[in-house]
Structure 1
Amino acid sequence: MRTAMVTGAGAGIGRETARLLAEGGYRVVVADINETAAQTVADEITAVGGHAYACLLDVASEAQWDKVAEWVHGEFGPAHVLVNNAGIMDTGGFVETSAAQWQRTVDIDLMSVIYGSRVFARQMIDAGIEGHIVNLSSGAAFFPARYIPAYAAAKAAVLMASQALRVELRPKGIGVTAICPGAIRTELLAHGTRAGLDAAEQEAWRTQLGKVQSLAFATPDKVARVVERSIRRNPAVVPVNPEAWIGYGLFRLSPGLVRAVGSVGSFDLADRLLPRIQPLLNRITK
């Protein structure tokens, strides 16, 4: 039986990806920093006849990656698929975002991909497995917006790292795909922080953004289907949703236009608009 490792699999895109891969016959390692959530997903999979195992993993820790990879190899043999899905999205301007917040974003959104890809690619190479690595980048990788510079920078690095890894692993028969979703109905924004706010303001901001993101047309299962298809077909880059495809095309054709569009949005604008649309959000999300 082939083994698939999915990070951030306790909720959202990771959860749906783990479930879909299990339906396709994979033994799935459900990895998450929230061990209870990981176990819940693993139980959901096994309850319908699938094979899944919960795993505690802080993706920002290289030592934990090494430990988990050793455990996976010891229990099941070398993994055939790695899906680097775990991530965070903090908001804040480039200057107002602290160095610590930048580092946190880089550690979780970028370095986790590097840690995981290195250790599991080595397993595949040593075992001669023609496996696949899927890295979740973002439509933000080609959209330099004023309010998510740290997230966009980290995801752009994930996109380039994936391409470099793809070039290196191609002679080994190992595929690498970067997935770039647009707006997806997850709790990514609700779990993030905004630079410069106190605790009460932070909670209010999360609640508002959570309601906004809940209005996204696409659901996590759409991205999961793209991930599963990418494992079979091995494309290099796959934007998800019309806005991601448009951004991908425009950034290649006219970077200046994309920068102009990205300069329109701001926190001042959001702070003015959110109170006005709050009654509508409450009715829609009720």
Structure 2
Amino acid sequence: MKTVIVTGAGAGIGRETAKLFARGGDRVIIADIDLTAAEDAAIEIIADGGLAVAHKLDVSSEEQWERFGAWVLDEFGPPDVLVNNAGVMDLGGFLEMGAEQWQRTIDIDLMSVIYGSLVFAKQMIDAGVRGHIVNISSVAAFFPSKLGPAYGVAKAAVLMATQSLRVELAQYGIGVTAIAPGAIRTDLIAHGNRAGLTSEAEQDWSAKASAVQGLAFAGPDKVARVIHRSVRRNWAIVPVNPEAWAMFYLFRLSPDLVRIGLGILSFERAEALLARFAPLIDRLVTSK
């Protein structure tokens, strides 16, 4: 039986990933800043015959990662798999987002990956565990965007950090994978902030954008299956959806074409489309 740590596992991709590993007979440690959600996920897994433990963790805190790492080592020994999944998606133009919002995105989306990898890669090395680290990047890592530059910057950094770590840990038999989902039915947008709007307008924007994300073809279970296969096969970079694969190859083929094409995107156009198709979106959401 292996020990698998999944961050942000109270919901969405993290929760489905934890459930999938547990069904395979692994012990899963569900880490989430929302302890109630983590406990609910653990209860669901245990009820299904699996092994799971919930633990509260603010992934943006290096100190909490150190304490969490010490607890895991004391209770279960070094882990076999770490899935750095926790993240947020704050939206807003480069100049709209203040330094505080930029820092929040970097701390949660990037530094959490750094902190977690430092703590548990060292444990794996010291114990001779031929483990695996999975970091959740994004299709946003492959293209520049006016809608969420902070998110794209953080996820591009996660992609490069993952590859650097993969090169370094290969000598110890530890695999490292970057996963790049595309549009997935999660609450990522709902839990993020939109810069440049009043509180009321931000709530309205978030509700509409979240409704659109809820219509995405792929669910978090699809990403979970890709993560599970990546651990078994030690893949390096894995886009998930067709649009993620398309952007992955298109940006490598012609970065200029991607920049020109995405340059037409703007919040004004996005808001106009949301307003135009609001009745259809409402009907689709209601019918689900």
Task: Give distance in 2, aligned partners of 1:261 and 1:54.
Answer: 44
2:245 aligned partner? 245
Which amino acid is 1:4 matched to?
Answer: V
CA distance in 2 between partners of 1:39 and 1:140 (Å):
31
Output the aligned Cα RMSD: 0.6
Deviations 1:260-280 (A, max 9, x none): 122121001112121111111
Q: Which residue of 2 aligns with 1:30?
A: 30
Q: Aligned partners of 1:264 and 1:184: how far apart in 2?
A: 23
Q: Which amino acid aligns with 1:254?
A: S
Q: Who is 2:120 aligned against?
A: 120
Q: Could you tell me how far apart the structure 1 residues matched to 2:76 and 2:260 are?
A: 50
Distance in 1 (CA, whole Å) between partners of 2:274 and 2:239 is: 28
Matches within 5 A, 1:171-190: 171-190=171-190
Q: Measure how far apart 1:3 and its partner are.
A: 0.3
Deviation at 1:179, TM superposition (A): 0.2
- Which segments of 5 or more consecutive residues in structure 1 lack a partner in the other structure? none
Distance 2:138 2:271 in 1: 24
Structure 1 residues 121-270: aligned runs within 5 Å: 121-270=121-270
Residue equivalent to 1:274: 274
Q: Name the residue aligned to 1:54.
A: 54
Distance in 2, Cα, partners of 1:130 & 1:145: 38
User: Does 2:50 correspond to 1:67?
Assistant: no
Match of 2:284 in 1: 284
Aligned residue in 2 for 1:7: 7
User: Alignment partner of 1:178: what SS?
Assistant: strand
Aligned-pair CA distance for 1:233 = 0.2
Q: Hey, what's the Cα distance between the residues in 1 that align with 2:39 and 2:97?
A: 34
Per the TM alignment, residue 216 of structure 1 is displaced from its structure 2 partner at its CA by 0.5
For 2:110 and 2:262, the matched residues in 1 are separated by 22
> C-alpha displacement at 1:198, in angstroms?
1.4
The separation in 2 between residues aligned to 1:211 and 1:221, in whole angstroms, is: 19
Q: Which whole-Å CA distance do the structure 2 matches of 1:138 and 1:101 have between them?
A: 19
TM-score, normalisation: structure 1: 0.99
Paired residue type of 1:146? K
TM-superposed CA distance for 1:54, in Å, is 0.3
Q: Paired residue for 2:109?
A: 109
Cα distance between partner residues in 2 of 1:272 and 1:255: 27
**4+ residue runs of structure 1 moved beyond 6 angstroms?**
none
Distance 1:220 1:79 in 2: 23
Quote the offset at 1:19 in angstroms. 0.1
- Displacement of 1:249 in angstroms is 0.2
Deviations 1:143-166 (A, max 9, x none): 111111000000000000000000
- Cα drift, residue 136 of structure 1: 0.1
What letter corresponds to residue 285 of structure 1 in structure 2? V
Percent identity reads: 64
Q: More displaced, 128-137 or 267-276?
A: 267-276
Q: How many Å separate the matches in 2 of 1:276 and 1:253?
A: 34
